[in-house]
Structure 1
Amino acid sequence: MATKFRNSFWLKTNEFAPQVFLFRNIETGQVVYSQTPHVTKYQIKQQFFRPNKENKKPLPRHDIWRPLAVAQFNDYQKAVQAYHGLVELRYMRQVSRKDESQSLRKLNDYNRIWCSGQYRPTYTMESTADLSAVIDELKLSENCKIYWDGLWWRGDAKHWNENIEHIDLERFGRREKFVILDEIREKGLLDFQKNSQLEEAQPESQTQPQQQTTA
């Protein structure tokens, strides 16, 4: 299990696919980004910079985290860039541009984030919006796939780059979630290997001399 930041070499060597995992907390609506199919204390500590009453630091209990989406890219460097971009936007929302971010949120009569009990859908919606923004800003849409735990989490398709393939995950329970995520990891590895083979074959075909035709 990865317990700290991993570079592209480590991910490839340990047979992880070029993917970024988004996990949602079923009790609070909070989201954690991960480079591997796990939620760890390190990720929570890294991504919750200034916890408060509305955004308390969540626990790493496996029973309260469920996959929200898995973003798959065509190489490992893009996956690392996407992860960094998401964490950076999280920092801006919580620290450097906190007031601006709060002004754009739906608030209740007490000037708090709209919620039902302890659940706050704002965090989930912001995370999906940030994923779309990161893919566009860093130009990561080529051969990009996103697996969703229900396409309704994606929102309106018009907010996404048209090159992205969106895939609806089959329904699964808490016990099966890691099995499904491992299957997605394996598919991601196969896709990466196929893309690499195609890229290696293209230069060879381009360097082959063309037959000259005579009149």
Structure 2
Amino acid sequence: MVNLAARFHDAKWLLSKGYSPSVYLFRNLESGQVIYSQFPYFAERQIKKQFQRPNWQNRLPSTRKDIWRIMSVVSFDNHEKAVDAYNALVELRHLRDVGQKKLANSFRKKNEDGNIWYSAQYRPTWTQESVADLTTVIDELKLENTKIFWEDLWRKGDDKYWNQELVEHRQLEKFSPREESVVLKRLGEKVKAEFALLKESQNAETLS
């Protein structure tokens, strides 16, 4: 079976296959690292692409399902926006880890030894940077009608960092780890239904 998560897919393909216009952010429970996906799941190839310069402070994470949880689902009103947002998030990750690694590291909270601050294996920097990148992408690309479903609303940080005219924040329904795939599928169906209604409304306005 071909692993779809291991490939990049454009807006036309995602629409033709019935996928919702969304980007999924998964967080690692042990390290705090975040993986971006066009699907409600991810593959090892995505990890290797998004973590190109792993080191002892930012190790190449495992694909073990028990150490990953959905952090947020970012939904848009068309697939072009979803693809643009996904690409921009991956590019910003590459910029932090490769293109401007020293600059990015200079902004990170350090401990007494000068290493990125951590508790056990967990480094809050990784989730915080992903949220900051998400706010930047939505703002810079002017992604109107964005809805973000958070595992916990506190993860979005202070409202002052978000453009309230572009984004709406919602809480994901509570669920157990076993139910995650079911909840994400249900959310995807809801987003697709809202997307279909919006398309109908736009078509009606065009014809009138």
**TM-score computed with the length of structure 1 as normaliser:** 0.93
Gaps (5+ residues) in structure 1?
206-215
Cα RMSD, aligned residues only: 0.9
Count of paired positions: 204
Matched, 1:57 2:60: yes
What is the rounded CA distance, in whole Å, between the counterparts of 2:135 and 2:183 in structure 1? Answer: 23
Which residue type is aligned with residue 144 of structure 1?
T
- Confirm or deny that 1:130 pairs with 2:133: yes
Structure 1 residue 196, shift from structure 2 partner: 0.5
Instruction: Quote the offset at 1:172 in angstroms.
Output: 1.4
For residue 82 of structure 2, the aligned residue among 62, 79, 83 is 79
- Matching residue within 11, 15, 32 for 2:14: 11
Q: CA deviation at 1:10?
A: 1.6
C-alpha distance in structure 2 between counterparts of 1:185 and 1:6, whole Å: 17
1:142-157 matches, within 5 Å, as 142-157=144-159
What is residue 190 of structure 1 aligned with on the other side?
Answer: 193
What is the CA–CA distance in structure 2 between the aligned matches of 1:8 and 1:60, rounded to whole Å?
26
Matched residues in 2 for 1:177 and 1:134: separation? 26
Residue number in structure 2 paired with 1:120: 123
CA distance in 1, matches of 2:162, 2:106: 24
- Quote how far apart the aligned CAs of 1:184 are: 1.1
Residue in 2 that maps onto 1:21:
24
Q: Structure 1: how far apart are the matches of 2:139 and 2:47?
A: 25
Partner of 2:175 in structure 1? 172
Which SS does the other structure have where 1:133 is aligned? Answer: helix
Give the alignment's TM-score, normalised by structure 2: 0.96
The Cα of 1:180 is off from its aligned counterpart by 0.9
Query: Runs ≥4 in structure 1, deviation > 6 angstroms?
Result: none
Percent identity (aligned): 48
8 Å CA contact retained: 1:39, 1:62: no
Q: What residue identity is the alignment partner of 2:180? A: K
Unaligned runs of 5+ in 2: none
Separation in 2, partners of 1:35, 1:171: 22
